[in-house]
Amino acid sequence: MHLTLGFSPCPNDTFIFDAMVNNKIDTNGIRFDTALEDVETLNKWALEGRLAITKLSFAVYLKVREQYRLLNSGSALGRGCGPLLIAKKPIAQEAVKDCTIAIPGEHTTANLLFSIAFPGAQRKEVMLFSDIENAVLEGRVDAGVIIHENRFTYQQKGLVKIIDLGEFWETTTGNPIPLGGIFIRKDVPAPVQQQVDALIHQSLQYAYGQYPQLSDYVKQHAQEMDEQVMRQHIDLYVNDFSLDLGTAGHAAVDRLMKAAV
């Protein structure tokens, strides 16, 4: 059986899926046709039901829940791992509503968390997450919501943090931050859905067994990131919730769904 599978080229996702898609574990006859894309592209594809299995921002869950279901393994959810709002110089939080803000996609959890914190901010410009730092530096926007490895590089470029949006979420709700999860189309037979969920869990366990060594697959897709930043990325976004969301993880996702309505 062949199944289409989409995830991002970021180290947390390639770390999780490496063993599964590169035949390092027994996949029991399932083969995966992979598409490595920015998560906002995957979000848009999910609205069309394009892939059988896909990484998605939890913010888009409400829009696809008739067609996809959330798997227990593979999620990015935790504490201290949320998006940041950054700028060239300090901006008072009450002034953010009047600023032009770069966001890494309309359907991203980062945009949802920003909207929860700043419901009055309407001047948004959508761009690829990796372009946001430069857009702020060049003055094309007043501030930007950054995710992924940019959390580790913005200070080196002289940018400053306005607010940690994940910290805002944790403080106001008490829940960990649900960023993205792995979803499977409901037309995939139920036994195969369960098998895929177990394979993701097994693939991550395999990766942990090799860590802190990084595979060529992770390094190949990390886009000029040095190995220290790759490990920081993995350490921040991959954790026990990635192995199994559990009760606390599902509760956090449900809380975000209520906030998104």
Condensed to tens digits (0 to 9), the pLDDT of residues 187-218 reads 999 999 999 999 999 999 999 999 999 999 99
For 84-173, the fitting CATH number among 3.10.180.10, 1.10.3720.10, 3.40.50.300, 3.40.190.10 is 3.40.190.10
User: What percent of the chain stands above pLDDT 90?
Assistant: 90
Q: How confident is the model at residue 130 (pLDDT cuts 50, 70, 90)?
A: confident
171-8-31 Cα angle (round to 5): 125
DSSP H or E segment with residue 35: strand 31-36
Does the annotation list 5 as a binding residue? Answer: no
Does the annotation list 57 as a binding residue? Answer: yes
* pLDDT at residue number 108: 92
Cis amide bond preceding 212, omega within 30: yes
Does the annotation list 56 as a binding residue? Answer: yes
Fold of 2-78+176-260: D-Maltodextrin-Binding Protein; domain 2 (3.40.190)
Residue 50 has pLDDT above 70, yes or no: yes
Active site residues: 148
Average pLDDT across the chain, whole number? 95
User: What percent of the chain stands above pLDDT 70?
Assistant: 100
Please, are residues 243 and 73 in contact by the beta-carbon 8 Å criterion? Answer: yes
Q: How confident is the model at residue 225 (pLDDT cuts 50, 70, 90)?
A: confident
